[in-house]
């Protein structure tokens, strides 16, 4: 069954059964497709989960009753209850936490394979925009991944992100197990090739004015190379704001 069989709706998960459905989709994408793993992944039940799930809000895209898209959302008050933001294991978030801005961490964004390339991700973004407006969020951030851990093979796109989209100093988080991203001089980067190699989700953040923290993090358990994306809603220009909030209440 592909996109278009029913109207896709977007809302927060309401109970443990819906969170389990989200974890099942995450298993299909992050474990089966991308080769990830983790200490709390339940291979028997085919659930990708971790200790942070009870603290996050889980934004769902549904085709009828079927969960076909997921986003995890963690406000600062929820992070305090969890003891930290999820990405603090990978990145020093001091700059963000000292900013005094209202923060929202994003993660585990994925779509069922049958719904990629259609409108489902855009509809998830609309649901996210509604959530941001409702909670007065000012800065969104979270790790996003390149598949695999071959840093040399990713030198072009990582260098492009570092040279062209590095976060301003007041929002510049830094990788803890620091993997430099400035692997190729800016003048030597094949921009077109680099953009082709950047995952669609990261490119979507860049179109909205997003930027990256300093350094990448190699996540061997998840078989990914991570960058930390930061998006300051106050720095969006009119075109970017229209893309982000289109269809949302002003």
Is the predicted pLDDT of residue 115 greater than 50, yes or no? yes
The CA–CA distances, whole Å, from 224 to 150, 165, 220 equal 9, 20, 7
Q: What is the pTM of this model?
A: 0.88
- What percentage of the chain exceeds 90 in pLDDT? 75
Q: Are 95 and 172 in contact (CB under 8 A)?
A: yes
For position 4, what pLDDT does the model report? 46
- Helix ranges (H only) for 27-119 are 76-82, 94-97
91: three-class secondary structure by DSSP: strand
Is the predicted pLDDT of residue 249 greater than 60, yes or no? no
pLDDT in tens, 140-188: 999 999 989 999 999 999 999 999 999 999 999 999 999 999 999 999 9
35: three-class secondary structure by DSSP: coil
Is the predicted pLDDT of residue 197 greater than 80, yes or no? yes
CA triple 178-147-212, angle to 5 deg: 45
Q: Are 176 and 203 in contact (CB under 8 A)?
A: no
d(CA 34, CA 36): 6
Tokens 């301003």 label which residue? Answer: 168
Residue 109, phi then psi, degrees to nearest 5: -75, 125
């Amino acid at each position: 069954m592909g996109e278009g069989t029913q109207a896709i709706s977007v809302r927060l998960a309401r109970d443990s059964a819906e969170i389990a459905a989200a974890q099942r989709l995450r298993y299909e994408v992050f474990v089966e497709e991308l080769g990830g793993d983790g200490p709390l992944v339940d291979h028997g039940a085919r659930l990708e989960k971790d200790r942070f799930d009870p603290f996050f809000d889980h934004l769902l895209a549904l085709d009828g009753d079927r969960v076909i898209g997921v986003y995890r959302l963690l406000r600062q008050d929820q992070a305090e209850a969890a003891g930290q933001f999820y990405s603090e294991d990978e990145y020093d978030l001091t700059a963000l936490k000292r900013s005094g801005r209202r923060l929202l961490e994003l993660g585990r964004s994925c779509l069922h394979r049958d719904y990629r390339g259609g409108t489902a991700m855009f509809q998830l973004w609309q649901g996210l925009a509604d959530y941001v407006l409702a909670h007065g969020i000012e800065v969104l951030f979270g790790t996003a991944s390149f598949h695999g851990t071959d840093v040399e093979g990713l030198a072009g796109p990582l260098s492009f992100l570092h040279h062209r989209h590095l976060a301003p100093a007041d929002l510049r988080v830094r990788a803890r197990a620091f993997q430099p991203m400035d692997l190729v001089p800016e003048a030597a980067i094949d921009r077109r090739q680099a953009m082709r190699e950047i995952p669609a989700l990261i490119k979507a953040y860049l179109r909205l004015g997003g930027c990256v923290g300093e350094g990448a993090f190699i996540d061997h358990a998840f078989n990914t190379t991570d960058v930390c994306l930061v998006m300051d809603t106050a720095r969006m220009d009119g075109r970017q704001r229209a893309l982000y909030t289109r269809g949302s209440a002003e």
